[in-house]
Amino acid sequence: MTLVNETTAAPIRLRDYRRPPWSVDTVELDVDLGIDTAEVTARLVLRRDAEQSQPLRLDGEGLELLAISLDGRALDANSYRHEDSVLEVDGAKDGSVLETRVRLKPAANTALEGLYLSGSRETGFLLTQCEAEGFRHITFFPDRPDVLARYTVTLRADRERFPVLLAGGNPNGAGELEHGRHWARFIDPHPKPSYLFALVAGRLKNIRRDYITADGRNVALVMWSEANVIDRCHYALDALERCMRWDEKAYGRNYDLDVFHVVATHDFNMGAMENKGLNIFNAKYLLADPDSSTDEEYRAVEAVVAHEYFHNWTGNRVTCRDWFQLSLKEGLTVFREQQFSADMNSPSLKRIEDVSLLRRAQFPEDAGPLAHPVRPAEYREINNFYTATVYEKGAELVRMLAGSLGPDGFRRGMDLYFERHDGQAATIEDFLSALGDANSVDLMPYLSWYGQAGTPRLHAHGEYDAARKEYTLTLSQHTRATPNQPEKTPLPIPVKLSLFDHSGNVLPLHTDGQTPETEKVVVVSKASQPIVFRHIDAPPVPSLLRGFSAPVLLEYGYAPAELALLLTHDPDGFNRWEAGQHLAFLAFDSLHAPTDNDACGAWCDALASLFHGRAIDDALLADLMTPPGEIEFADRQTEVDPAKIHAHRQELQRRLAAHIGIETLHARYHALNVGGDLKLDAGNQAKRQLKRRVLELLALVDADGAHALAAKQYESATGMTDRLAALGVLVRQRAPQAAKALAHFRERYADNPLALDKWFTVQAQVPGDAALASIRTLEIDPAFTLKNPNRARALFGTFASGNPSGFHRTDGEGYRLLTDRLAQLDALNPQIAARLATAFNGWQRLESVRREAARTALVALAQRGGLSRNLSEIIGNVLQ
Ligand code: ARG
Ligand code: ZN
C-alpha cells in the first residue's frame, strides 16, 4: 500500500550524479527590494561543458517571470519554456549571457526559504536563506553546489524603510537614488555556489570590531540585529574573535574578505547559516545576556558562532560537489567546532555533552525507519537530510580519521585537502584521499562508514589464563539491518583501551614486540578479532572505547563492581562518565529484578563517595550524577513504555538521593548557593550546574523542602540559569509555587521572545498525562504562533521529542494533537513540519497500545493528501 502521495517524483540518487552541463562564471544580481514584492534581475555568463549537449535548463520555484533575454535579445515565447520549477532556454552557447527579471513576494513567504520577511511588515527586515535549494526561489539558476560563480550584487530600496543593505562579499559602492531610494553594491571575489548567497535589508543596528588576520588582512567584524537587542551581541562578537584566532593557529586558516557580517533573526528554520561574508543566525544562537540566557546557551552561542565561521574554509572555500556529500562540510565543521570548544572549555565536559547528544539524537535515528548513511544514497527532499547522522555521526567519522593520523598527521592531511581543493566542489573520497596521501596511508576502508547506516555493535569478551598470565580480549562487530540495507560489512573500528587492576591502577600493556604503554588503539576491522596481553598478573578490568573512540554500541558483560571501579578510578573524566552511564543502565535493569539490586547499590555507593570526596569538578560531578536520558533507556528496549521508563528513571534518582541523604543534599545546596553578583566563569557555571542537580535530587526525597528552596531561588536568582532551573523544578513537579513563578516569568519576559520560548518549553516538559492539558492551554495563548519556528519548536518540539512520557499517551491524544498541528504547519512551513514529524521515529518499538494509536494517527495524516514533499517523505519513511 502506498500511503503517501503516489505522484511524488522518483528520488534523487547519488549514483546518477553527472557534472553540470551548464555552469555560470559570473552573476550580476540587481535586487529591487520591497516588503510585498521584490524584483530580481540576474545576468548570468554561461559556461557550457564541452562534453555534454543538453539544452540550458535552470531551476526556479515560485518565480513570476517578467522578462528574459539571451545575448542582449529579448526572447520570444517559442524560444523558452517555463514549467513549474524549470526554465528551458533554446539557443544558448558557451559564453552566452542570459538575463532574466522575476518578481517575488517576500511577505507572503512563510516557508522561510528564499527571500522572506522577519518580524512585522512595519518594523521587520528582509533576508534570505538559500541552503540547500533556496536560491531557485530568488532567481533562475543552475541551483546546485558544483556550480561556482563570482557574484556582483546591487541592492536598491527605500532609504527610510531599508536603511541597511547587505550582501555577501566586499562592499563596492553605495549611493542615493531618486524618490528617497538608495543602493549598495557588493562584489565577492571568491567563486561560490548559489546556496552561499545572502542579502539582508532593513532597519538594523550593529556593533563592530577591527580584526587583523595572521596573514595581515584588516577585517571589519560587524554584528547586526534589531535595535532593542544589539546590546546582547557582545558575547558573540568576542566568541567570533576567539574562533578566528583559533582557526589561524590550529589549521593555519585565515579569513579572506574585508568584512564579516553576522545578522540575528528571530525567524529562522535552523540554527544558523554560513553564507559567504554574511552569516545569518537564529537569534537563539547569537544573542546572550545573563538575564535571559542560561550558561548552556552561552556555550551554544560560542559553538554555533565557531561552527559557522569554520565553514568559511570547510564548506565555502572547499564546498560539496552535490548534496550527498553534505557531511563533507557538516561533519568536518562540527568536528572542528568540537575541537575548538574543547580547547576553550573543558575537553571531558565537551566530550560528555557531544556523546550524549549523539546517543540521544543520532543512535535512535540509526536504529529506526529514518536510518540513513552519513552519505545517503538517495533522497527526495534534501532539507530532510540535515540530520544528526550527517552532522554528529559525520563528526565522529572525522574524529576517527583524525585519531588514526594523530594531530600532526591530521594537520598535514587537512593542509593537503585545502591545497588540492580550494575553490572546488569536492567529495568524501577527495577528503579521504587528501588525508591519506599526506600521510602515505590508505584511509579508503573508512569509506564504508560513510555508506553504511546503523550503529555497529561492538561485542567484547575477555579470557584470563592464570597459568600463562595472559589476557585475551576478543572484539567482534555486528550491525543490524536498516531500511534498504539488509547486508552489512565489517567496518574499521578504532578501539582505544586500557586495563586496570582491581585496585584501580592502570596496567602496562604488553603486546607483541612493542614497548608497553598504558593506553592503546586496536583497530577492529574483521567480524571478530582477538588480542592478547601478556604479563598480566590477575584478571584485569578493561576500559574500552576510551574517549568514545568510535560511534558504536559497546556490549561487554561488566560486573557492577568493575564499573564502579572505573567510575571512581579512571583518571579521565569522560571515561568515568561512560562507566557511570553503563552502570546506571545495569542499575535501571536491576530495579525490575529486585533479587539482583547490587547494580543500583554500586551506582549509588560510587556516586555518593564521589559526592562526599569533593575531589572532582562540580560540573563533572553533576554529569556523573545524571543517569542516561529516557530516550537512551527506550533505545535499549523492544516494547517501549515511556511512562514506565520515566517512573523507573525517577526511582533510580530517588534512590541515589536517598542514599546521599536529605541533610547532606541540603547542606551541599546551601554551600553551592553563593549568591552575589552573577559570574560567568567556568567555576561558577559548574557550581550552578551542580546546584541544579542537587535541587532536582532533593525534590525526589524532600518535595516540600525542595519546592521552598526552588521558589526562593526563583525569586532571588541573578541570572537565567538559576531562575530557569528553579522554575523547571517547580513546574515539572507541579509544585504549589509553580503558578506564581510562571505568571511572573511570563510578565517579566513578555517582550523577549527567546526567554518566552523557555516559558513554553518548561511547561511542555511536564511529565505524564498532565502534559497534554498544558499544551492545549499554551497553544491558545496569544503569544503562541505556529508561524515562528522557535516558538513552534519550543512547544511542540519539546512535547513530541523531549517529553516521552507526556507525548506517548495510551489514548493516542498526543499523536492526534501532533498530527493535526503538523498538517497546519505543513501549509506554512514544510521544513519545520517535517522536522517535528521525526518525533514519530521510534513508534514501531512502542508497546502495542501506543503503537496502534501512533499508526492510526500517522496513517490519517498521510491520507489527508496534499502534504509537502518534506513532510510526505518523513511520514512515508516512518510508516514503511
Ligand atoms: N549549513 C547550515 C549549518 O549547519 C545549516 C543549513 C541547514 N539548512 C537546511 N535547509 N536545513 O551551519
Ligand atoms: Zn554547518
Q: How far apart are CA 274 and CA 378, in angstroms?
A: 25
Average pLDDT for residues 308-314, to the nearest whole number? 99
Sheet with 149-158: list strands edge to edge: 73-74, 64-70, 97-104, 38-48, 22-32, 149-158, 181-192, 170-176
CB 498 within 8 A of CB 486: no
pLDDT of residue 393: 99
Q: Does 157 score more than 90 pLDDT?
A: yes
Name the closest-CA residue to atom 10, ligand 1.
383
**Cα dist from 774 to 93, 741, 763, 766, whole Å:** 62, 16, 7, 8
Q: Is the CB of 268 under 6 A from ligand 1?
A: no
Q: How far apart are CA 648 and CA 640, in angstroms?
A: 13
Residue with cell 538559576: 722
Residue 56 has, within 13 A of its CA and on its CB side, a CA count of: 22
CB 482 within 8 A of CB 366: yes
pLDDT of residue 510: 87
Name the closest-CA residue to atom 3, ligand 1.
273
Bridge partners (DSSP) of residue 276 are none
Q: How far apart are CA 237 and CA 262, in angstroms?
A: 9
Nearest to 833 by CA among 868, 783, 878, 880: 868
pLDDT of residue 5: 46
Q: Is the CB of 113 under 6 A from ligand 1?
A: no
The whole-angstrom distance between residue 40's C-alpha and the CA centroid of its chain comes to 33
CB 308 within 8 A of CB 274: yes
pLDDT tens string 404-433:
999 999 999 999 999 999 999 999 999 999
Query: Which has the minimum average pLDDT: 311-320, 334-343, 613-622?
Result: 613-622
pLDDT of residue 1: 36
Name the closest-CA residue to atom 11, ligand 1.
383
- Centre of ligand 1 to C-alpha 273, Å, is 6
CB 727 within 8 A of CB 741: yes
CB 857 within 8 A of CB 812: yes
Task: Give the pLDDT band of residue 139 (cuts 50, 70, 90).
Answer: very high
- Centre of ligand 2 to C-alpha 361, Å, is 17
pLDDT tens string 109-118:
999 999 999 9
Q: How far apart are CA 701 and CA 703, in angstroms?
A: 6
Bridge partners (DSSP) of residue 87 are 58, 82
Query: Helices H, strands E: what count in the chain?
Result: 29, 31
Q: How far apart are CA 503 and CA 507, in angstroms?
A: 11
CB burial of 461-483 (b: ≥16 within 10 Å; e: otherwise) equals: ebeeeeeeeebebebbbebbebe
- Coil, helix or strand at residue 135: helix
Q: Does 348 score more than 90 pLDDT?
A: yes
Burial class (CB in 10 A: 0-12, 13-18, 19+), 612: exposed
Q: How far apart are CA 741 and CA 783, in angstroms?
A: 18
What does the block give as the cell for 126?
528582509
pLDDT of residue 72: 98
pLDDT of residue 249: 98
Measured between its terminal Cα atoms, the distance across the chain in Å is 10
For a mutational test of ligand 1's pocket, the pick from 112, 133, 273, 275, i.e. the residue with the most ligand atoms closer than 8 A to its C-beta, is 273
SS (H, E, C) 44-109: EEEEECCCCCCCEEEECCCCEEEEEEECCEECCHHHEEEECCEEEECCCCCCCEEEEEEEECHHHC
Average pLDDT for residues 451-475, to the nearest whole number? 98
Mean pLDDT of the residues in the chain: 97
**ipTM at complex level:** 0.98
Average pLDDT for residues 507-527, to the nearest whole number? 89
Q: Does 660 score more than 80 pLDDT?
A: yes
Average pLDDT for residues 860-867, to the nearest whole number? 96
- Centre of ligand 2 to C-alpha 326, Å, is 9
> What DSSP state is assigned to residue 110?
-
- Coil, helix or strand at residue 140: coil
**Cα dist from 145 to 30, 142, 322, whole Å:** 22, 9, 6
- Centre of ligand 2 to C-alpha 420, Å, is 22
Q: Is the CB of 273 under 6 A from ligand 1?
A: yes
Listed in order, strand segments (DSSP E) in 193-290 are: 199-202, 205-212, 218-225, 259-265, 272-273, 278-282
- Centre of ligand 2 to C-alpha 319, Å, is 12
Residue with cell 559556461: 47
Looking from the CA of residue 308, the nearest atom of ligand 1 is 12
Q: Is the CB of 381 under 6 A from ligand 1?
A: no
CB 180 within 8 A of CB 137: no
pLDDT tens string 758-815:
999 999 999 999 999 999 999 999 999 999 999 999 999 999 999 999 999 999 999 9
Task: Give the pLDDT band of residue 710 (cuts 50, 70, 90).
Answer: very high
Average pLDDT for residues 254-260, to the nearest whole number? 98
Task: Report, as residue numbers or ranges, the catalytic residues.
Answer: 308
Q: How far apart are CA 787 and CA 57, in angstroms?
A: 34
Q: How far apart are CA 327 and CA 391, in angstroms?
A: 6
Name the closest-CA residue to atom 9, ligand 1.
383
- Round the CA-based radius of gyration of the chain to a whole number and report it: 28
Q: Is the CB of 272 under 6 A from ligand 1?
A: yes
pLDDT of residue 514: 72
pLDDT tens string 219-232:
999 999 999 999 99
What does the block give as the cell for 330?
557538516
pLDDT of residue 594: 67
- Coil, helix or strand at residue 2: coil
> Got the DSSP string for 241-268?
HHHHHHHHHHH-----SSEEEEEEES--
pLDDT of residue 2: 42
CB 525 within 8 A of CB 443: no
What does the block give as the cell for 611?
559526592
Counting ligands in written order, the one closest to the CA of 395 is 2
Q: How far apart are CA 279 and CA 266, in angstroms?
A: 14
Average pLDDT for residues 20-37, to the nearest whole number? 98
CA angle 493, 494, 497 (to 5 degrees): 130
**Cα dist from 442 to 143, 210, 255, 434, 446, whole Å:** 34, 43, 31, 10, 9
pLDDT tens string 681-695:
999 999 999 999 999
Looking from the CA of residue 132, the nearest atom of ligand 1 is 10
pLDDT of residue 511: 75
What does the block give as the cell for 376?
545517503
Antiparallel, parallel or unpaired: β 73-74 and 493-500: unpaired
pTM over 0.90: yes
Q: How far apart are CA 671 and CA 687, in angstroms?
A: 9
Task: Give the pLDDT band of residue 596 (cuts 50, 70, 90).
Answer: low
- Centre of ligand 1 to C-alpha 130, Å, is 9
